[in-house]
Amino acid sequence: MTGDLPVKAFIRSALACALLAGVAAGASAQDIQERTIKFGHLNNTDHPVSMGVKKFAEILAAKSGGKLKVQEFPSNQLGNEMQQQSALQGGVQEMTAPATTSLAGIVKEFGLIDFPFTVANFQQADALLDGPLGQALIAKLPEKGLVALGYWDLGFRNATNSKRPITKPEDFEGLKIRVIPNPVFLETFKAFKANPVPMPFAELYGALEAKAVDGQENPYSVIASNKFYEVQKHVSATNHVYAANIVLVSKKFWDRLSSTEQKIMQDSFNEAKNYQRTVSRAAAQKAVADLQAKGMQMNDISPAEQKRMRDIAKPVTDKFAASYEPAVVKLYNDELARIRK
């Protein structure tokens, strides 16, 4: 009989643990309200950002017992990037996932991410954004009415135009190139003697079709998803800037969440992040083949010419770096030195 005592003790202990777990689960369940989260973005439903939203929604629903639901509004349905940013700050929209470039107007140090020719591959990009530099930038957003969960992949930006292949810096001369309304992009393309035209993304296809602009620059998956091959002839592998999306939450909404809900939101994002980056990078590879199949003429740029572009852009980045918070610039330079080793 004595041999049964440890078993009984174990069963009693297990029952006690189960009871405690049930109480804890009940407390957590009470901390989760029924909520519908409006998640707007600029991209079409076949784009990796939309795939990331769907994966985030799926994980969030599972972790919250179906109480936290995401309603996706793709394709500029809730406005352009600036309008959606304002809607988050005002608390009338819960989430969005713009390119980080759109934040440089409210936290100018986000311009560091847009410095051309800084990271050479995806591993370096992820290390920069997931590390201390990316977190230091995120820490500046709450005072602007925004909370960031982290970064998704958008990809390396490449130039397209309707006039000629870009094989060297001089080929940009005189081209009207649409750029994100961001000072680093404007000054960089001015340094290439192009004529940069800031314009919301929602207006871009029409402007290319009407020849109001000659070209634009975006990651391959954006070029393919938005059918720019219908109105552009040349795509050049400039790889001039690594672009990321940043997943933003309205601070007014975030502050209404319980700590349990906030943790579920962050954990769901963390799980969705690797999935989104994987599908985004696979989509970029597929998009290159698709663009060529649709008749776009593609060309690479030699390392020597890419170095010339980097040298031309350097005075621009030096000028902007001098106007940013010195501690953040030092962190940026230290992190680049670390991840390039």
HEC readout, 237-278: EEEEEEEEEEEEEEHHHHCCCCHHHHHHHHHHHHHHHHHHHH
Burial class (CB in 10 A: 0-12, 13-18, 19+), 2: exposed
Residues 6+ positions from 121 with CB-CB distance below 8 Å = none
Please give the Cα distance from 47 to 126 (Å, whole number).
20
pTM, full prediction: 0.83
How confident is the prediction along the chain (341 residues), in pLDDT tens digits per residue?
434 444 455 445 554 454 434 433 444 667 999 999 999 999 989 899 999 999 999 999 999 999 999 999 999 999 999 999 999 999 999 999 999 988 988 999 999 998 999 998 999 999 999 999 999 999 999 999 999 999 999 999 999 999 999 999 999 999 999 998 878 889 999 999 999 999 988 899 999 999 999 999 999 988 998 999 999 999 999 999 999 999 999 999 999 999 999 999 999 999 999 999 999 999 999 999 999 999 999 999 999 999 999 999 999 999 999 999 999 999 999 999 999 98
User: Domains in the chain, please, with CATH?
Assistant: 32-340 (3.40.190.170)
How far is the C-alpha of 101 from the C-alpha of 82, rounded, in Å?
11
Terminal CA-CA length for the chain? 66
Structure token pair of residue 245: 């999306």
**Under a CB-based contact definition with an 8 Å cutoff, are residues 194 and 177 in contact?**
yes
Compute the distance between CA of residue 191 and CA of residue 157 in angstroms, rounded to an integer: 17
Q: Which residues pair with 198 in a beta bridge?
A: 179
Q: What does the pLDDT read at residue 181?
A: 80
Output the pLDDT for position 24. 39
How far apart CA 266 and CA 64 sit, in angstroms, is: 12
Q: Say if strands 146-161 and 234-250 run parallel, antiparallel, or are unpaired.
A: antiparallel
Give CA torsion, residues 200, 232, 237, 320, to 10 deg.
-30
Alpha-carbon distance 291 to 314, whole Å?
31
pLDDT at site 291? 97
- Please state, in angstroms and rounded to a whole number, the distance separating the CA atoms of residues 92 and 37: 10
Burial pattern 136-156, b for ≥16 Cβ within 10 A else e, equals bbbebbeeebbbbbbbbbbbb
Closest Cα to residue 274, out of 171, 155, 146, 126?
126
Token representation of residue 70: 């995401």
